[in-house]
Amino acid sequence: MAAAYDDTNVFAKILRGELPAHKLYEDEQTLAIMDIMPRGDGHCLVIPKEPSRNIMDVEVRDLEAVARTVQKLARAVVKAFDAEGATIQQFNETAGGQVVFHLHFHVIPRFDGVALKPHTGQMEKPEVLAANAAKIRAALG
C-alpha cells in the first residue's frame, strides 16, 4: 500500500503561502518555482496545486496541466539561458529518488559538454535565484 500524502511537505507549505518561493508561473492547477538547490542555472520546478504524492496517485487532469506547464517552462528556460536543450526529471518514492513527497518535475536548461552539478543540498544565494527567476519570467512573456 502506498504511503499517504503528507501536507506538511515543503511544496504544500509553499502553496499555502507558509514558505517563500521565487514564483515563475502560476495558473489554476499548477505553480512553477525556482529550485533553491539548483543543479544548474535556471533549474526550476513545476508542481500541481492539488495534493498528490507522486505520478502514481495524481489525478489525470492535474498531470495534464502539469505537463502543459512543464513544456511552457522548458521553452522558457531554453530561451532565457540560450540553452541547447533541457532536462526534465521526475522521481517517485524513495527507491526512485524522490525526496519531497509532492509530485514535482525538475526543468533544467542544458548545454553540450556541461554536466549537472551534484545534488549537494546546498542552497543557492537568494540574489542569484532572483536574477534567474527574472530571466525566466521575461522569457515567459
The residues with which 114 forms a beta bridge, in sequence order, are none
With respect to residue 106, please indicate whether it lies within any of the assigned structural domains: yes
Known catalytic residue at 119: no
With respect to residue 5, please indicate whether it lies within any of the assigned structural domains: no
With respect to residue 3, please indicate whether it lies within any of the assigned structural domains: no
Q: Read off the pLDDT of residues 76-91 as tens digits, 9 standing for 90 and up.
A: 999 999 999 999 999 9
Q: Read off the pLDDT of residues 44-86 as tens digits, 9 standing for 90 and up.
A: 999 999 999 999 999 999 999 999 999 999 999 999 999 999 9
* Domain count within the chain: 1
With respect to residue 48, please indicate whether it lies within any of the assigned structural domains: yes
Across the range 16-39, mean pLDDT stands at 97
Give CA separation, 110 vs 34, 42, 47, 80, in Å.
Answer: 16, 9, 21, 12
Q: Judge contact between 96 and 104, C-beta under 8 A.
A: no
**In which band, very low, low, confident or very high, does the pLDDT at 119 lie, cut at 50, 70 and 90?**
confident
With respect to residue 4, please indicate whether it lies within any of the assigned structural domains: no
What cell does 50 get? 492539488
With respect to residue 107, please indicate whether it lies within any of the assigned structural domains: yes
Q: What single string gives the DSSP state of each residue in 82-129?
A: T-SEEEEE---TGGGT--SSS--EEEEEE-TT-PPPP---PPPPHHHH
With respect to residue 118, please indicate whether it lies within any of the assigned structural domains: yes
CATH number at residue 101: 3.30.428.10
For residue 127, the enclosing domain spans 10-140
Catalytic residue, chosen from 22, 104, 106, 119, is 104
